Amino acid sequence: MAASRISSRAGVAAAAAAAVASISALSNRAHADGSFRFSPFSSPPSSDSSSPQKAPKTDSKSDGKASGEDPKGGLSGFDPESLERGVKALKEINRSPYAKQVFEIMRKQEETRLAELAAEKAYFQAMQAQEEIEKQRKMAEEQRNLVQQQAQAKAQMARYEDELARKRMQTDHEAQRMHNVELVRMQEESSVRKEQARRATEEQIQAQQRQTEKERAEIERETIRVKALAEAEARAHEAKLTEDHNRRMLVERMNGEREKWLAAINTVFSHIEGGFRTLLTDQSKLVMAVGGATALAAGVYTTREGARVIWGYVNRILGQPSLIRESSIAKYPWSGIVSRGIKKVRNYSTEAGASKTSGSESCLDNVVLHPSLKRRIEQLARATANTKSHQAPFRNMLFYGPPGTGKTMVAREIAQKSGLDYAMMTGGDVAPLGAEAVTKIHQIFDWAKKSKKGLLLFIDEADAFLCERNSIYMSEAQRSALNALLFRTGDQSRDIVLVLATNRPGDLDSAVTDRIDEVIEFPLPGEEERVKLLKLYLNKYLSDQDKEDSLLGSFKRKPQKITVKDLSEDVIHEAARKTEGFSGREIAKLMASVQAAVYGRPDSILDSKLFMEVVDYKVAEHHQRIKLASEDQKSVVDFSS
Ligand SMILES: Nc1ncnc2c1ncn2[C@@H]1O[C@H](COP(=O)(O)OP(=O)(O)OP(=O)(O)O)[C@@H](O)[C@H]1O
């Protein structure tokens, strides 16, 4: 019995296990599908949970509809066999006395399962919360991305705006640059226009200046011409006066002679009277007397006229040309014999005296020049002196510089010291000669050839007739004279040294300057030279009185003796400082004025006060003269413009 009971119990347990296994298999399957919600102990939504027998049916039906059945139609993979086995097992359980325990176990199993499901639910809720969090995170991320995108868009917008602003600025800048370029171009054009206008004005001014220069040159030439004319007139007048004087002397002498002759004639006539008486009485003696008287008259007349013709001829051949103002060559060959003899004697005595006082006297003692210039001139004088002995051609010279700086003096000194003959003429003398000038120039060169030593021909104021040949102010005669001179100086000469002096070297014809070998400038004296000049003329005009007295001899009235007092070196240096811009001539004149001022004093004393007074007014006079000259020049420019 017990064994049967045990076997029945084992059978129930096996049935329950089978039922549970089949239900579990179903349940697991449904879970595996994810849509199956059936549980034998859970209360289905539409069937009664307390009737487990019905539940599978209901479940199977609903399951067939809800989960086992494919929504597209048909039960895919559903096995009703296990369900049937479960139902069968349940029936067996119901019949078993251990059904209660079985159901208890099943309930516990179900509770366990519910707990598992709750845990699963909690798990799912946690998952859901996690999902929610994830969603929130994603949303936040999206939000952040949105914000980021917005920021990016904003930044892009800002960049774009910035780009636009930059482009606008660039455009503005470009426009400004173009504007500036345009402005610069306009300024350049304007400056070019201004420059052109300035050049045009300058050219106009230069043309005006040239015109003024020409006019001034014309005025100067006219002045020189007038001066030369005046000088010629003065010479003519002087000659006339001399002639008058000679005539008067002649008349007086003739009167004396006449009286002498009258007395003689009276005597003679008394004799003649006797003779006539004899003649009248004797016919043959009368005829002889008349014939003799006629022959005598004819002889006297012929001799006189013949002598006059011969004199003119000799004079023309041998005499000094009239253009030469000063020369070392005697005017007539025979007239030098006596003077040469006197000169020799004088030279001998001077040399003897000089050798007693100083060993050697350098040339140019009376000329004050800058040491370097002086050295050059001494060298030139020596070279010129030696040229003839070496049979070399002479070198022509041009001296130029402001008036009164010693050009003429130096030329004279060079001529004298070089041992050549020398002759001086002035350019201003040529113009008044007119058509005769050419002949006179040739005459000078012919005459110069006669010098055995060689001749230094010095032409002062050379620009007066050697100026530019194209000049419209030059007369035809002057041009011819210049051409004659150019013709005679075409080759290097072994007979003539040409020395030209001018204040305006620029006016000389280019062909003339081409013939020049040495060009020497004579500047205004510097302070050192002015000191020397002041001392030189102080000695000459104020201290050399004794010497002059002895030279004047007894023919002239003796001048008052000048006493020089307190004239220190400092005073002379002060005067030299003040006389800046003075020429040598002006300083010589200043010292002549000092001499005159001293003669104006009863005691004839020269002291530093008087000296400086004269210096001051001469300096004021000099500045006034410069001012007037510049005003004159300005007015000439204004007038011409
Ligand atoms: N360097 C000098 N040394 C001494 N005296 C001078 C000097 N320069 C000029 N004089 C004085 O001035 C006078 C004129 O000099 P000079 O005739 O030589 O000048 P210049 O240069 O030929 O002038 P111009 O150009 O006017 O003919 C001389 O007689 C002399 O008294």
Digit-coded pLDDT (tens) for 180-225 = 999 898 988 988 998 888 888 888 888 888 888 888 888 887 887 7
Cα–Cα nearest to 221, from 497, 526, 475, 391: 475
Which is the closest atom of ligand 1 to the Cα of 411?
18
Query: CA separation (Å) from 370 to 404, 409, 532?
Result: 15, 15, 10
What mean pLDDT is predicted for residues 241-250? 79
Look at phi and psi of residue 458 and say left if phi exceeds 0, alpha if psi is from -120 to 50, else beta: beta
Q: Ligand 1 centroid vs 526 CA: distance in angstroms?
A: 15
Least confident of 411-415, 439-443, 479-483: 411-415
In angstroms, the CA 488 to CA 342 distance is: 35
Q: Ligand 1 centroid vs 482 CA: distance in angstroms?
A: 26
Mean pLDDT of the residues in the chain: 77
Tell the residue nearest (CA) to atom 17 of ligand 1: 408
Contacts of residue 361, Cβ cutoff 8 Å, sequence gap at least 6: 354
Cα–Cα nearest to 580, from 537, 636, 531: 531
Q: What is the pLDDT of residue 357?
A: 36
Tell the residue nearest (CA) to atom 16 of ligand 1: 406
Q: What is the pLDDT of residue 553?
A: 42
Asked if 63 and 38 touch (Cβ cutoff 8 Å), the reply is yes
Q: Is the CB of 501 under 6 A from ligand 1?
A: yes
In angstroms, the CA 235 to CA 479 distance is: 25
Residue type, 33: D
Q: Does domain 319-523 have CATH number 3.40.50.300?
A: yes
Q: Is the pLDDT of residue 577 over 90?
A: yes
Contacts of residue 186, Cβ cutoff 8 Å, sequence gap at least 6: none
Q: Which of 398, 459, 530, 585 to mutate to test the pocket of ligand 1 (most atoms within 8 A of CB)?
A: 585
| Helix, strand, coil percent content, the chain, rounded in steps of 5 | 70, 5, 20
Q: Ligand 1 centroid vs 633 CA: distance in angstroms?
A: 25
What mean pLDDT is predicted for residues 512-530? 91
Q: What is the pLDDT of residue 23?
A: 56
Q: What is the pLDDT of residue 96?
A: 81
Q: Ligand 1 centroid vs 110 CA: distance in angstroms?
A: 158
Classify the C-alpha dihedral 385-386-392-395 as positive or negative.
negative
| Residue predicted with more confidence, 572 or 356 | 572
Which is the closest atom of ligand 1 to the Cα of 585?
12
Q: Is the pLDDT of residue 133 over 60?
A: yes
Q: Is the CB of 585 under 6 A from ligand 1?
A: yes
Residue 134, token pair as written in the block: 């994830």
Q: Ligand 1 centroid vs 324 CA: distance in angstroms?
A: 20
In angstroms, the CA 576 to CA 543 distance is: 19
pLDDT digits (tens, 9 = 90+) for 6-62: 455 555 555 556 555 655 555 555 444 444 444 444 444 444 444 444 444 444 444
Q: What is the pLDDT of residue 78?
A: 67
Q: Ligand 1 centroid vs 587 CA: distance in angstroms?
A: 10
Q: Is the CB of 117 under 6 A from ligand 1?
A: no
Least confident of 120-129, 243-252, 331-340, 575-584: 331-340
What mean pLDDT is predicted for residues 509-521? 89
Q: Is the CB of 369 under 6 A from ligand 1?
A: yes
Tell the residue nearest (CA) to atom 26 of ligand 1: 403
Q: What is the pLDDT of residue 316?
A: 58
Q: What is the pLDDT of residue 18?
A: 59
Q: Is 392 helix (H, G, I), strand (E, B) or coil?
A: coil
Q: Is the CB of 408 under 6 A from ligand 1?
A: yes
What mean pLDDT is predicted for residues 515-527? 91
Which is the closest atom of ligand 1 to the Cα of 369?
1
Q: Ligand 1 centroid vs 408 CA: distance in angstroms?
A: 6
Would you place residue 65 in the very low, low, confident or very high pLDDT band (cuts 50, 70, 90)? very low
In angstroms, the CA 507 to CA 238 distance is: 33
Q: pTM score > 0.90 for this model?
A: no
Asked if 12 and 93 touch (Cβ cutoff 8 Å), the reply is yes
What mean pLDDT is predicted for residues 136-141? 90
Q: Ligand 1 centroid vs 505 CA: distance in angstroms?
A: 17
Asked if 458 and 411 touch (Cβ cutoff 8 Å), the reply is yes
Which is the closest atom of ligand 1 to the Cα of 502?
25
Q: Is the pLDDT of residue 360 over 70?
A: no
Tell the residue nearest (CA) to atom 24 of ligand 1: 403
Which is the closest atom of ligand 1 to the Cα of 366?
4
Tell the residue nearest (CA) to atom 23 of ligand 1: 404
In terms of average pLDDT, the best of 20-34, 230-244, 372-386 is 372-386
Cα–Cα nearest to 479, from 511, 523, 516, 520: 511
In angstroms, the CA 516 to CA 432 distance is: 26
CATH number at 525-641: 1.10.8.60
Tell the residue nearest (CA) to atom 13 of ligand 1: 585
Cα–Cα nearest to 380, from 347, 413, 353: 413
Least confident of 86-95, 276-285, 296-305, 604-613: 276-285
Q: Is 38 helix (H, G, I), strand (E, B) or coil?
A: coil
Q: Is the pLDDT of residue 531 over 90?
A: yes
Which is the closest atom of ligand 1 to the Cα of 461?
27
Q: What is the pLDDT of residue 51?
A: 40
Q: Is the CB of 403 under 6 A from ligand 1?
A: yes
| Residue predicted with more confidence, 273 or 301 | 301
Q: What is the pLDDT of residue 42?
A: 43
Query: CA separation (Å) from 520 to 59, 262, 325, 376?
Result: 150, 67, 24, 9
Q: Which of 325, 400, 408, 529 to mutate to test the pocket of ligand 1 (most atoms within 8 A of CB)?
A: 408
Q: Is the pLDDT of residue 565 over 70?
A: yes
Q: Is the CB of 493 under 6 A from ligand 1?
A: no
Q: Ligand 1 centroid vs 367 CA: distance in angstroms?
A: 8
Q: What is the pLDDT of residue 555?
A: 41
Q: How many residues does the chain have?
A: 641
Q: What is the pLDDT of residue 44?
A: 43
Q: In angstroms, how far is the first alpha carbon of the chain from the final one?
A: 172
Q: Is the pLDDT of residue 88 over 60?
A: yes
Give 363's DSSP letter. S
Q: Ligand 1 centroid vs 292 CA: distance in angstroms?
A: 66
Classify the C-alpha dihedral 480-481-484-489 as positive or negative.
negative
Q: Looking at this predicted complex, what is its ipTM? A: 0.97
Q: Is the CB of 588 under 6 A from ligand 1?
A: yes
In angstroms, the CA 627 to CA 49 distance is: 149
Q: Is the CB of 464 under 6 A from ligand 1?
A: no
Q: Is the pLDDT of residue 436 over 90?
A: no
3-state SS track over 432-469: HHHHHHHHHHHHHHHHHCCCCCCEEEEEECHHHCCECC
Q: Ligand 1 centroid vs 376 CA: distance in angstroms?
A: 18
Q: Is the CB of 368 under 6 A from ligand 1?
A: yes
Q: What is the pLDDT of residue 263?
A: 85
**Domain segments of the chain: what residues?**
2-97, 319-523, 525-641
Q: What is the pLDDT of residue 58?
A: 41
